Structure 1
């Protein structure tokens, strides 16, 4: 889209209520504040939503401040490549980038996935996430998801508790694909301690076992289960450093700064022989929609963020038979 098109930017913070508190290693979330950007041209508008990256001090308030500081530059007209030069990785660039994609779709009369070179966006099997609660509560949560084909267990680094969480879910769902997300909760020693239980339970993926900054400890670690980098990979320049340490790259638009960077990360990961996963921070269906485009190119999909909301946007993403689907009327509608 031409950088000479003048724009009007609207940016605001919304608070999305959760159905119940959500726990991961070191954090408990009761609601989700998000920054929502709307870009208006004379002919159309485009929207983007970002929650930011909580562990990098990138909250919605900072997103708003960042965008406001660049208002004059943005409103004079900006394209996605100029945006990559203007803003660093993170929520502000994500919200703006996604708004520019939707605006281009509406200007061109082509769906976003078509602009990305994807023939058709189809439903994808997604993981459904279980909070790092007591094993009995984790079991109840799993029982409430009989339709799920894939389950992801949040863990907190308590070796015995994590073992039991995995065991009770596998006993309940012998048929399901199961992955676990340590959210940096392990050391190499504790990872080795839980690994036999993970193998016995048929766990298929382990996300971010060690703390960010400790990736070198995985050099030469012969994991029987693929390891996915989440906090250890933010944007495109981090991808090469994962080789020999991780087998999977978890791409999140809030981390990398939007759909444009995410697509570049997919290409680089494939070039380096790595598998690709797409996830999202918690947010509404408006945040899920651009990630759903990336999902068309991924080996693993983790796009259940809106499931945890007491109220989502309408229309919103839908879930059926364990798959996520995003109607074109939600984001990037060209009608």
Structure 2
């Protein structure tokens, strides 16, 4: 049995410029700030990447400190299974969970999906995100992306009916999903859902604020509604029934691939459709999420496409088609 006593953990903050800017209802940003964890032992290094999210009280510095604090437990033999109880769900645990999985796969000379007994990921279509803006700006951005089969449209509250109508006119053949990022209210919920239905939208993500989404259970929903900020890990699934039709699984919320896979299985057992989501980050953060794609109705792993550049050896994107990672990148 391989000793874990000499495992070394390193972590760092990285900055990745975004191509233009990325705007949602909570604001705009021009760079992605990620935290990378690396676990080294036996001449091999496993890597994982996360994106701390202020919406959940996370900062890059706090995430870095949380990771650095795990050096001693790792030296004492902490493994990926024990990690689930040793750290709370969130970005820091995601980076370390994925780094441990990557190292475990490399040490065994196997791909990570064989290690976990999961189906091998195959090439699949990812959504491509259109940032929030005026109807005219969003229509122009949509027209440039109208060749893509699946577009994810960021909305933000007042004027969303005009925005989605303009987007649909600019991309008549694309499948549309919408993400309101908690910006709607119980007063405009029905109106905005109707506007999305009129535009042929397939799915609306998180229309109401998490914890204030009870109105979804009281109305007739004209299209499917997906939980994002309202769902984190398996513990949050039960209260969603009757309010949501789908759940967006993100590794930064679940605290890594280990919990994300268990959550996908549990969500499907409860009748939810699965969406695989991401933050704006490099291919190192997208690669583990590819293992969830075989269970997903929607795959939204376009983070690297929104960057000015991806890391070397990143995932292969061919238009909106995303291909499984090479072992040198992850897993």
CA 238–3 in structure 1, closer or farther in 2 if over 3 Å, else same = farther
- 2:23 alignment partner, SS class: strand
Q: Is the 8 A contact 2:90 2:253 kept in 1?
A: yes
Normalising to structure 1: TM-score of the pair? 0.94
Deviates further, 310-319 or 92-101: 310-319
Question: Alpha-carbon deviations, 1:59-97, whole Å to 9, x = none?
Answer: 221111112223211233321111011100101100000
Deviates more, 1:226-235 or 1:322-331: 322-331
1:12 maps to what in 2?
12
What is the CA–CA distance in structure 2 between the aligned matches of 1:321 and 1:312, rounded to whole Å? Answer: 15
Select the residue among 266, 269, 286 that pairs with 1:288. 286
- Partner deviation per Cα, 1:91-111 (whole Å, 9 max, x = no partner): 110000000110111011111
Deviations 1:150-196 (A, max 9, x none): 001001111x2x11221122112221110100000011221111222
**1:76 & 1:6 partners in 2: Cα distance?**
9
Distance in 1, matches of 2:306 and 2:143, equals 16
Task: Say yes or no: does 1:140 pair with 2:137.
Answer: no
Q: After superposition, where does 1:122-271 map in structure 2 within 5 Å?
A: 122-158=122-158, 160=159, 162-271=160-269
Unaligned runs of 5+ in 1: none
Q: 1:252 to 1:3 in 2, by over 3 A?
A: farther
Q: C-alpha distance in 2, partners of 1:141/1:3?
A: 53
CA distance in structure 2 between the partners assigned to 1:55 and 1:104 by the alignment: 32
Q: Is the 8 A contact 1:105 1:332 kept in 2?
A: no
Corresponding residue number in structure 1 for 2:272: 274
Which secondary structure does the structure 1 equivalent of 2:22 belong to? strand
Report if aligned partners of 1:22, 1:30 keep a CA contact under 8 Å in 2.
Answer: yes
Partner of 1:92: 92
RMSD of Structure 2 on Structure 1 (CA):
1.6
- The aligned counterpart of 2:76 is 76
Instruction: Confirm or deny: 8 A CA contact 1:50 1:60 kept in the other structure.
Output: no
Q: Which sits farther off after the overlay, 65-74 or 85-94?
A: 65-74
Do the aligned partners of 2:284 and 2:330 also contact (CA within 8 Å) in 1?
no
